[in-house]
Structure 1
């Protein structure tokens, strides 16, 4: 009973805020998703990442091991699903990116904060940063057929990660007034991302649901197995173990749909995976948390 209550306390706020965005749009109210997304990704999330890294109390060895584990897990996921796509013959351009990239920002960060506290946030932003770099390079390559190093270098999240890592490494701290301001801006990120997630799902027009269901299920099972295996292999601590597995099993990222739409891939198929995997996560994430806690 206590475990069930704990899991509900973690999951409920996440889906409540997403439901606010979903309901807001369904009621016909205006929501400028491009503006909010830009505000979150260029200001709120970078502030959140920088302050979280600067203030993290995670030991250097643990943080380094977790970073290597994150890189290994993402590479393993990419290789496994690349082989899967080639063997099954499904369209690599449309399906490989949603199979590889999870919603580690909008959904992963809040879940890790609620489940593992400040230490979980420190690990979660490292995972988000690694997957963001991979998404802005390999992810764009999958849809567009070319890399985008310039896109990576223009992302404030990348520079926030680098700057935060330098401050962490050197043990530096910004002045209190600046830290408080940055922290306040960063606190906007979580609710904005969750409400925007609900808005994005509400506006999607999913197609090919049958294929999306079984692909989303395969993504969930494979991601969980790989995350668990990598966490054991790298002998991660309890919080790091939980964050790695939790971030690995997040549903398909909405950015995969946006990139498919932008570069002319089968965006309806990707939208179907976003919707089905997100709905599937309503039942799956509490189960994963119950295993981890």
Structure 2
């Protein structure tokens, strides 16, 4: 009973915040999603990442081990996803990238924060950075036939990660008034991302739902098992263990739909994958969290 209450306390705020965004749009209120997404990803999330890395007390070796485990995880998921799609005859341009990359930002960061506190958030930003780099290169390549290295280099989130890593490595800190300002801006990130997730889900028009159902269940199971196995192989500490498993098991991100729309893949099928995998995660992630805790 205590474990169930603990899990509920962790996941309820996440899905309630997303539900606020969903309800807001369904009630007919305006939500400038393009502006808010740009605000979050250009300003709030980079500030959150930089301050989390700069102030972390986690050993650099532990973060490096987590980084290697996450890269190995995405590589393994990529291989298993390709095999599943080939066996089922599904279009790899449409489904492969969404199968690999989960919603490590909008959903992964708050889950890590509520489940493991500040240490969990500090580790989760490492997974977010790895996912972002791979998404802008390999991910776009799978959808469009080519990577987008220039876009990666223009992404503030990537530079915030690199700068935060340098400050962590050197033991530097910004002046207190700068740190307080950056932390205040970074505190916007998680509420904005969760509400935007709900808004985006409300605006999507899913198709091929039956395919999306079995593929979403397969993605969740494959990613959770791979994350768990690699956490054991790399001998991660308890917090890193939980963060790796949760982050890899997150549902398809809304950005997968935007990429499919931009590069001419079947965006409506991807929309179905996004919506169904997110709904399944409402049940799946609490169960997974219960096993981890």
> What's the TM-score once normalised by structure 2's chain length?
0.99
TM superposition shift of 1:152: 0.4
Find the counterpart in structure 2 of residue 140 from structure 1: 140
Find the counterpart in structure 1 of residue 35 from structure 2: 35
Find the counterpart in structure 1 of residue 161 from structure 2: 161
Is 1:114 aligned with 2:88? no
> Secondary structure of the residue that 2:172 maps to in structure 1?
coil
Instruction: Give deviations 1:132-154, integer Å, cap 9, x for gaps.
Output: 00001111111111111101000
TM superposition shift of 1:83: 2.3
TM superposition shift of 1:86: 2.4
Find the counterpart in structure 1 of residue 54 from structure 2: 54
For 1:177 and 1:198, locate their aligned partners in 2 and report how far apart those are by CA, in whole Å. 34
For 1:13 and 1:74, locate their aligned partners in 2 and report how far apart those are by CA, in whole Å. 28
Instruction: Give deviations 1:35-89, integer Å, cap 9, x for gaps.
Output: 0000000000000000000011101221111111111111111121122222322
For 2:147 and 2:258, locate their aligned partners in 1 and report how far apart those are by CA, in whole Å. 17
RMSD of Structure 2 on Structure 1 (CA)? 0.7
Instruction: Give deviations 1:190-213, integer Å, cap 9, x for gaps.
Output: 000000000000000000000000
Find the counterpart in structure 2 of residue 254 from structure 1: 254
Instruction: Give deviations 1:228-277, integer Å, cap 9, x for gaps.
Output: 00000000000000000000110011100010011111011000011001
For 2:70 and 2:249, locate their aligned partners in 1 and report how far apart those are by CA, in whole Å. 13
TM superposition shift of 1:291: 0.4
For 1:247 and 1:147, locate their aligned partners in 2 and report how far apart those are by CA, in whole Å. 23
Instruction: Give deviations 1:132-185, integer Å, cap 9, x for gaps.
Output: 000011111111111111010000000000000000000000000000000000
For 2:108 and 2:272, locate their aligned partners in 1 and report how far apart those are by CA, in whole Å. 20
> Secondary structure of the residue that 1:97 maps to in structure 2?
helix
| Unmatched runs of 5 consecutive residues or more in structure 2 | none
141-150 or 25-34: which moved more? Answer: 141-150
TM superposition shift of 1:22: 0.1
> Secondary structure of the residue that 1:109 maps to in structure 2?
helix
199-208 or 257-266: which moved more? Answer: 257-266
> Secondary structure of the residue that 1:205 maps to in structure 2?
coil
| Unmatched runs of 5 consecutive residues or more in structure 1 | none
30-39 or 72-81: which moved more? Answer: 72-81
